Amino acid sequence: MDNIIIEFKNVHYQYPDGTKALKGINIKIPKGKKIVFLGPNGCGKSTTFLQMNGVLRPTEGDIYYKGQLVSNKKKPKKDLWKEVGFVFQDPEIQLFSANVYEEISFGPKNLGLSHEEIRERVEEAMKDTNVTDLQQKPVHYLSGGEKKRVSIADILAMDTEVILFDEPTTSLDPKHIEALMKILEELHEGGKTLIISTHDVNLAYGWGDYFYIMKEGAVLLEGDHQEVFKQKELLQKAHLEIPWILEIYQYLLDNNKTKVLQPPRNKEELLSYL
Ligand SMILES: Nc1ncnc2c1ncn2[C@@H]1O[C@H](COP(=O)(O)OP(=O)(O)OP(=O)(O)O)[C@@H](O)[C@H]1O
């Protein structure tokens, strides 16, 4: 299919210590969509992301980017990072430059862009993530939430076609979570393919176009919000809660307090049913 940007075919991955982190993953990520990976600690979400941007390669199975095999052991695609950006769960792993400005300009410099273009990209990324005032500050003095925002700015400045966000809301306060969701919306409108992993079922439910629920290195369930969130037993198996919006909607239905048969997607829709 032309619109599939990333495809995994029977991907297995075993870490050098013998841990079997992925056990036959098959996924197809459509271009320009908002994709969510949900699942308990250790189910393989981060390992899946590391495969998607080429940091790790499968021990078995194949990965395709825009139809091109990128996991070929003899001829791996080395520059996948230019097309698939990765905001790490732990910003400490990602950040290494002396100050914030240098940190965010590192990626664009490696792309060989002009000074002017680097400056423009860095300034825009700093503005979007609200770190402009911190630009001369040493990275190691930043708070956890500030580090997280700089790690997001790093990847925005790369302007990659796909962006992976591993637990993007960790360490962010409510104001900055709201700002992040706005950035994600703008990126989506600009045609980017966005893939996030999260434990926050409520945030994911309102946001995602397509969901992969993982458990113990495998995909337990996949589909759009209507298909996935009605599978209560499978969600329980993955230790996931039902989004509170759906719980209240179910209560309204069961008690004849609404006649709308379409599950609401967000708080505003739910309120309009009352
Ligand atoms: N470098 C490593 N060496 C050995 N085992 C690892 C390594 N990194 C991860 N693992 C193991 O691989 C499995 C999958 O881990 P992964 O980090 O992909 O899970 P996750 O779904 O992202 O978890 P979380 O929600 O806690 O971030 C776990 O059992 C983990 O202990």
What ipTM is given for this predicted complex? 0.98
Residue 164 phi, psi (nearest 5): -100, 125
Query: Ligand 1, residues 17, 37, 46: which to mutate, most atoms within 8 A of Cβ?
Result: 46
Query: Mean pLDDT in the chain?
Result: 93
SS3 of residue 18 by DSSP: coil
Using the atom order of ligand 1, give the atom closest to the CA of residue 39.
21
Q: CA-to-CA distance for 11 and 59, rounded, in angstroms?
A: 8
Domain 1-83+160-235 class, CATH top level = alpha beta
* pLDDT for the residue 162: 97
Start-end of CATH 3.40.50.300 domains in the chain:
1-83+160-235
Report the share of the chain in percent with pLDDT over 90.
Answer: 81
* pLDDT for the residue 257: 92
* pLDDT for the residue 94: 86
Residue 185, token pair as written in the block: 């919306």
Sort strands 162-166 and 84-87 into parallel, antiparallel or unpaired: parallel
* pLDDT for the residue 2: 67
* pLDDT for the residue 3: 93
For residue 54, how far is its CA from the centre of ligand 1 (angstroms)? Answer: 16
| Widest Cα–Cα separation across the chain | 63
SS3 of residue 256 by DSSP: coil
For residue 29, how far is its CA from the centre of ligand 1 (angstroms)? Answer: 22
Query: Ligand 1, residues 17, 36, 47, 200: which to mutate, most atoms within 8 A of Cβ?
Result: 47
pLDDT for 1 beyond 60: no
pLDDT for 136 beyond 80: yes
Kindly state the average pLDDT of the residues 237-262.
92
Report the share of the chain in percent with pLDDT over 70.
Answer: 97
Q: CA-to-CA distance for 164 and 178, rounded, in angstroms?
A: 18
* pLDDT for the residue 34: 97
Kindly state the average pLDDT of the residues 222-245.
93
Q: CA-to-CA distance for 165 and 185, rounded, in angstroms?
A: 14
